[in-house]
Amino acid sequence: MTKPMEYFGPAPWGPALDNPHEDMVKTPENMVCYACKEPIVLGDSGLLMWLVGGPNGLERIANHRECHLRNIVGSVGHQRRACPCFGGEEEDPPGMSLREAAIAACQLAGVPLSPKRSDLQ
Ligand SMILES: [Zn+2]
Ligand SMILES: [Zn+2]
């Protein structure tokens, strides 16, 4: 049975930091990110987890690290309290792809970015 969550990327992250040998897996280059729908490519950081009750039943899905973390920290609009939760209309910044908006949300929240992304700064 595959573990609930497995991590991939150039460097261990999240709970895999404690046990990289057990939790880090090969980058799933044949998958697309469930959140942003962009292909997973070598050098991306992310995680694999089970999706229960989706259209395909039990399904193993991949998410980029930042796309996953956006669900935890909230969109840029949510962090600014300008989203529908607070009576506003702002969510992701206009003109950004879902992936870019997820990275922007992590930056605004002060989450350290994945190695590849940090290298680009
Ligand atoms: Zn993504
Ligand atoms: Zn919100």
pLDDT tens-digit profile of 37-63? 999 999 999 999 999 988 888 999 999
Cβ distance 51 to 8 under 8 Å? no
- Quick one: DSSP state of residue 120? T
Q: What's the 62 CA to ligand 1 centre distance in angstroms?
A: 8
Is the pLDDT assigned to residue 30 strictly greater than 80?
yes
Domain ranges of the chain: 5-120
- Reply yes or no on whether the pLDDT at 120 is more than 80: no
pLDDT at 83 over 70: yes
Report the residue count for the chain.
Answer: 121
Q: What is the pLDDT of residue 119?
A: 56
State the distance from the centre of ligand 1 to the C-alpha of 52, rounded, in angstroms: 19
Which CA distances in Å does 104 have to 6, 24, 29, 95?
24, 25, 24, 12
Asked whether the whole model's pTM tops 0.95, one would answer: no
